[in-house]
Structure 1
Amino acid sequence: MESLLQDKEQRQPQTIDEEYALWKKNSTGMYDFVSETKLGWPSMAIEWLPTPDISLERQELLVGTLTDKDEVDESVDKTNYLKFCKLDYPSGGKNALKVFKKFAHDGEINRIKVNPFDKNLIATINDSSVVSIFDRKQGLIATLNNAHSEEDAFGLSFNKKQKKLLLSGATDGKCVLWDIEKGTKLEEKQIHSKVINGIEFSYLNPNMFVSVSDDYQIITNDIRTLNKNQSQISVKAPSIFNTLALSPFFQNLLACAGEDTMVHLFDLRYMANGKALHQMAGHEGNITNLEFANYEDGVLASSGEDRKMIYWDITKIGNEQTQDDAEDGVPEKIFVHGGHRSSINDFSLHPSIPWLTASTEEENYTQIYRPTKKITDSDWMGNIDLSDME
């Protein structure tokens, strides 16, 4: 009887603080680098700045603030900022993230994107659907507005082949194509009936972009014929999708995720019925963000309201598993970062340093980490979740 009671106690759900303490206890052996910094305000957006020379210790990233407009303490600065942060990697300590520059920003920053051709050009979109263009040295250089309704916006994507092109998508269901060099609107189109949650240019086809929305639609468009209905291909999604990612290796590989807690993989050529090629289970709540890695074919990362970052290797789909491995999850789930104590708002995979990740949560904390090579080396990859360790 005593042993049964002990087993029952051991199975009791852990509190968030207990989960964090367990993660912290086991983190030394699971990461080559890990740091945590508490910022003054939460951030909805985070993005690495490309580093020309990865041998340099200093790495840089961008965060956007989300201040509390109802804060009554007049001594508290409620200005929103686009903040430039530096990180000494890999020699940095626990609180390695330091703000070294900031530009005042109009409204809350919902998304940050760095121009793939010029790391000094940065685009943001705010809670009034206003797109701002910043120069790293000069600050704000252009404001692109009067295209969307003045509501929240979360869709933002630079063209991967043409430096001047930027897409935005907002609550009004419209997408807008901008010329950032001229600061002008090139095209706009009502593509969704509800809020656009994500929009992204293809890495390999400079004319194609895909968007997802609360209207259950996955829509593919061609910017050359954006003002013509025949350019649009619409497919009903199995769930409301909050986010999407296009593969940098395969033009037709699309990942989507959202309210049903599953990561869905699609082939853009064969999705007329909205059926996914494969679904991956691992999250226990809404999935908030997805990103394919550019350093290894098949690696995909996802974050969610369940406080988890999951790394997947889709080349392992269908691999045989032992019974013990199967209890830990599907074979393509290779690592779970469980260090956050609240919903993850955004994350960014470093563009030059494989597996180095920055993620930010609702409770002001930003974490930087890189799983140990024991885990990321393909011969050693397994289904590893720190929350299950003792």
Structure 2
Amino acid sequence: MDYSTWKKNTTYNYHQIQTSSLLWPSLAIDWLPNTGKTASRNDYSSNKDVNNNNTTNTNNISHVEKLAISTFSNNVNSIESLLLVNANIIDLNSNNSSNLQNFDYSIDKEEFNYSLPLPHLKNTKELHKIDTDVLIDEPEIKTVTNSIGLQQRIPHNGDINRIKYCPLHSDLLATSSDSGLVRIFDRTRKPNNFNIKDLTNDNNNSNDNNNNSDNDNDNVTSTIETCDILLKYHTSESWTLDWNPNKFTIATAANDGIIAIWDLQSQFYPPPKKKFSTLTTNQTCTLTEPILNIPAHNYGVNEIKWIPDHNSLIASVGEDGKCTIWDIRNPSSSQRVKEFISKEPLNTVDINPFNTLQLVSGSSNGLINIFDVRNDSIPIINSTQHKDSITATKYSPNKSNLLVSSSVDSTVVLWDTEDLTPIFVHGGHLLPVNDVTWAPDMDVPTLASCSNDNSIHIWQPILPI
């Protein structure tokens, strides 16, 4: 399906869709749990900053959801950003949701935008991408309107390949990076924004006071580490991590082929609590020895996932084409409980939260496999709907029969897990889709996806009954 065909049919295929342009592509996205906050037209004025966002509960049209996204400047910036953004999700059951007075028509995107403004950080351009086509036709237009508001911008050393919030404490965000370092941030201990000048130990342009917070490409010799916990063990790039859903344990893995298990409850000793006014006062705890390391895969580990109802079982996939389930109860000799072998490298893995005996893998040739761990190593179902490498496979947290996958072929596909039938194809991205995430607390299936085309899409598909 080409983009123009997809665009013409959005009215018939979506309950709602919101598209936003970023300054840089995003490699990772994660939808955080709902804070329970509702939004109404009386909540915000157009000139309110992010720190002044008291809400009322009259004339509710939408509710506010929070997402974490990354930036990927390809070394243009000396520091990347971990962005916390708010999105207004329209309540389709509201009496006011169909009132056109609540929406503005965007000529540049040819779609209606919800006109209730979101609080947005000042002095940053991360969520605004200059549209050259619009500038040619209408030079007075400087940026493309976005449907998300930037709430917090946290500095990050190196590329952010994966973001995961802690299920036991959603203010804790973990990231994996191109250096193999894994960082954990408590976002409540961070300012809402940062200036690159405050984070460099040596800066050749230190006498230039005219630079703002977006000039992150200055020549610097080193930057201050701003995370709260630094896991320093892997020797090569890391694309995956996963929090244990039942305790403060995190698993990390990298291209070095090793899975590392960290018990934060016993290994981490937090610094004395204080109110941080600047990032330079941050105290980072560095951990270098996991409680367990598993030589898991030849040529690298691509994804790991804890079995949801078990504290000591973890699944992994790698470049060697193996999908393995590990039992870590015996630290001296972690054993393979089950192993499935593919002819192609495996990029992704996930476990069905409603049936933990079922897992899915996605391969580098676009193949989706569903396995039953009780059966032999042959998949019970597979599909070749995607035409290129799989970048994410994730079961719905709310619907037992829904699975989503994203791919380098620029599409996102929703599947019925009963027979792995594709029931919806999101074709709105123009370049490879890097990641996709489910809204964890919404009854109506709602997703967000990020792509190399610098876009974030938030969408509710109309699915077959």
For the aligned pair, the TM-score class normalised by the smaller chain equals: 0.7 to 0.9
Task: State the distance in 2 between where 1:211 and 1:226 align.
Answer: 17
Q: Tell me which residue corresponds to 1:67.
A: 73
Contact 2:326-2:334 within 8 A present in 1 as well: no
1:275 equivalent to 2:378? Answer: yes
Task: State the distance in 1 between where 2:340 and 2:436 align.
Answer: 27
In our comparison, the structure showing a higher alpha carbon Rg is 2
Q: Tell me which residue corresponds to 1:302.
A: 405
Once the two structures are overlaid, the 10-residue window that deviates more, 229-238 or 166-175, is: 229-238
Q: Tell me which residue corresponds to 1:127.
A: 178
For structure 2, list consecutive stretches of 5 or more residues without a partner in the other structure: 40-62, 91-96, 98-112, 115-144, 191-225, 269-286
Contact 1:350-1:357 within 8 A present in 2 as well: yes
- The superposition leaves residues 166-211 of structure 1 with CA deviations (integer Å, 9 ceiling, x where unpaired) of 0001000000111234335211121111111110001122211100
From 261, 278, 295, the equivalent of 1:190 is: 295
1:47 equivalent to 2:16? Answer: no
Shift of the alpha carbon at 1:226? 4.1
Q: Please state whether the residue corresponding to 2:20 is helix, strand or coil.
A: strand
Q: Percent identity?
A: 27
Shift of the alpha carbon at 1:133? 0.7
Shift of the alpha carbon at 1:55? 5.7
1:177 equivalent to 2:261? Answer: yes
Q: Tell me which residue corresponds to 2:122.
A: none
Q: Tell me which residue corresponds to 1:142.
A: 228
Q: Tell me which residue corresponds to 1:88.
A: 88
Closer/same/farther in 2, CA of residues 23 and 231 from structure 1, 3 Å limit: closer
- The superposition leaves residues 273-294 of structure 1 with CA deviations (integer Å, 9 ceiling, x where unpaired) of x311111231111111100001
Shift of the alpha carbon at 1:232? 5.2
Task: State the distance in 2 between where 1:209 and 1:41 align.
Answer: 33
- Structure holding more strand per residue: 1
Closer/same/farther in 2, CA of residues 227 and 147 from structure 1, 3 Å limit: farther
Q: Tell me which residue corresponds to 1:153.
A: 238
Task: State the distance in 2 between where 1:27 and 1:147 align.
Answer: 46
The 5 A counterparts of 1:254-265 are 254-265=359-370
Closer/same/farther in 2, CA of residues 227 and 55 from structure 1, 3 Å limit: farther
Contact 1:225-1:231 within 8 A present in 2 as well: no
- The superposition leaves residues 58-95 of structure 1 with CA deviations (integer Å, 9 ceiling, x where unpaired) of 111000111121x4xxxxx5420110001111176372
Task: State the distance in 2 between where 1:280 and 1:171 align.
Answer: 27
Shift of the alpha carbon at 1:309? 0.6
Closer/same/farther in 2, CA of residues 118 and 143 from structure 1, 3 Å limit: closer
Shift of the alpha carbon at 1:231? 4.8
TM norm structure 2: 0.69
Shift of the alpha carbon at 1:213? 0.3
Task: State the distance in 2 between where 1:180 and 1:200 align.
Answer: 18
- The superposition leaves residues 135-154 of structure 1 with CA deviations (integer Å, 9 ceiling, x where unpaired) of 121135533333110x2111
Task: State the distance in 1 between where 2:32 and 2:403 align.
Answer: 20
- Structure holding more helix per residue: 1
- The superposition leaves residues 345-380 of structure 1 with CA deviations (integer Å, 9 ceiling, x where unpaired) of 0010110113111100012111111113xx25x2xx
Q: Tell me which residue corresponds to 2:201.
A: none
Task: State the distance in 1 between where 2:295 and 2:84 align.
Answer: 34
Contact 2:408-2:431 within 8 A present in 1 as well: yes
Contact 2:365-2:387 within 8 A present in 1 as well: no
Q: Tell me which residue corresponds to 2:319.
A: 214
Aligned residues: 334
Task: State the distance in 2 between where 1:84 and 1:61 align.
Answer: 6
Task: State the distance in 2 between where 1:55 and 1:203 align.
Answer: 30
Q: Please state whether the residue corresponding to 1:369 is helix, strand or coil.
A: strand
Q: Tell me which residue corresponds to 2:430.
A: 341
Task: State the distance in 2 between where 1:235 and 1:291 align.
Answer: 19
Shift of the alpha carbon at 1:300? 0.5
Task: State the distance in 1 between where 2:332 and 2:153 align.
Answer: 38
Q: Please state whether the residue corresponding to 1:275 is helix, strand or coil.
A: coil
